[in-house]
Amino acid sequence: MNLQIILAGIGGQGILFSSKVFSELGLKMGLEIMGSETHGMSQRGGSVIAHLKLGKFQSPLIRKGAADILYSFEENETYNTLKFLKHGGICFVNLENVDQFNKSIMKFLKEEEVTFRTYDATGAASKIGSIRSANIVLIGYSVGTGLVPFKYEDLKYVLELVSGEKNLKVNLKALELGFQEGKLTGNNP
């Protein structure tokens, strides 16, 4: 299996942690990992993007129109990173209300047969008292929908592996919450 994933958001939203989660997940699935991350100046409130490629790749960067999955933790960064998504790709956006999203772009994505799913992960994360866990909520949600080739158990295993002692409990809670919500909506938005 070859899988290309883009993780987009802004500094402080846990993009690098999410990238770690997916790379460990890929390793668990017996795949090779290659990717690229933003470090340094941009982390100060700027756009942060992680490219992650599971399978046989040499280049750490994902090309325009090549990503299978896009996780965007922020509306604006979605517009900036949709270009990476391939025809027929899947996109999960952390968004309070889908009506906020630009209509003509939605229409374009439909023409491109992109599965476009929005979910208020920040809202859900604030319910468990941890806005910073919105990233894990959204990832859990995507797995719940059954649209991505990841297993809940594997994700749980990985979170136990990579979370610090302080955050493990809340991360597992966030995963469970997102997963259940995703399961509810399933394949139909």
Partner 1 sequence: MRKTSQEEIKVLLGNVAIARGIVEAGCHVVTSYPGTPSSEIVPAVVELKKELGLNTYIEWSANEKVAYDNALAASLTGKRAAVAMKQVGLNVASDSLMSSAYTGVVGGLVIISCDDPGPHSSQTEQDSRFFAMFAKVPAYDPSTPQEAKEMVKEAFELSETFEIPVVLRPTIRVSHAKQSVKLSPLRVLDREANFEKNPERWAATPKYRLVLHKKLNNTLQKISERFESDTKWNYEVGKSRGASLGIITCSVSFANLVDILEELNLRSAINVLKIGTPYPLPQKRIADFIERHKKVLIIEETDSVIESQIIDKSKVLGRLTGHIPLEGELDPDGIHNILADVLRELGIANLEKVTDSKLDKLVEKVKPLVRKPTLCAGCPERAAFFAIKKALPKAIYASDIGCYTLGLNLKAVDTVLDMGAGITLASGFYQAYHQDKKDIPIVATMGDSTFYHSGTASLLNAVYNNARFILVILDNEITAMTGMQPTPGLGITADGSEGRKIPLKELIKGCGVKWIKTIDPYDVKNLVKLLKEAKEYSQRKDGGIAVIIARHPCIIRFPEVCEESPVEVEITDDCNGCNYCLDFFECPGLYLDEERNVVEIDRNFCVDCGVCIDACPKGAIIPIKK
Q: Which one among 34, 93, 139, 175 touches partner 1, defined by CB under 8 A? A: 34
Q: Which is nearer to partner 1, 79 or 152 (CB)?
A: 79
The window from 24-32, 89-97, 137-145, 169-177 that contacts partner 1 (CB under 8 A) reads: 24-32
Q: Which is nearer to partner 1, 131 or 170 (CB)?
A: 131
Please report how close the Cβ of residue 109 comes to partner 1 at its closest, in angstroms. Answer: 8
Which has the closest alpha carbon to 171: 129, 120, 142, 113? 129
Q: Can you say whether residue 74 is alpha, beta or left, with left for phi > 0 and alpha for psi between -120 and 50 degrees?
A: beta
Residue tagged 């933790």 (tokens): 73
Q: Which one among 5, 8, 35, 185 touches partner 1, defined by CB under 8 A? A: 35
Q: Does 83 bind partner 1 (CB under 8 A)?
A: yes
* Structural contact between residues 73 and 13, judged by C-beta atoms closer than 8 angstroms: yes
Q: Which one among 100, 102, 180, 185 touches partner 1, defined by CB under 8 A? A: 102
Q: Does 98 bind partner 1 (CB under 8 A)?
A: no
Phi and psi angles of residue 158, each rounded to the nearest 5 degrees, phi first: -65, -45
User: Which CA distances in Å does 82 have to 4, 91, 161, 177?
Assistant: 13, 8, 31, 26
Handedness of CA 132, 165, 50, 28 (dihedral sign): negative
Q: Does 97 bind partner 1 (CB under 8 A)?
A: no
The C-alpha atoms of residue 102 and residue 37 are separated, in whole angstroms, by 28
Two structure tokens written together for 140: 């859990």
Q: Does 164 bind partner 1 (CB under 8 A)?
A: no
Q: Does 41 bind partner 1 (CB under 8 A)?
A: yes
The residues of the shown chain that bind partner 1, judged by CB under 8 A, are 10-11, 19-20, 23-24, 26-27, 30-47, 52, 57-61, 63-65, 76-77, 79-80, 82-83, 102, 104-105, 108, 131
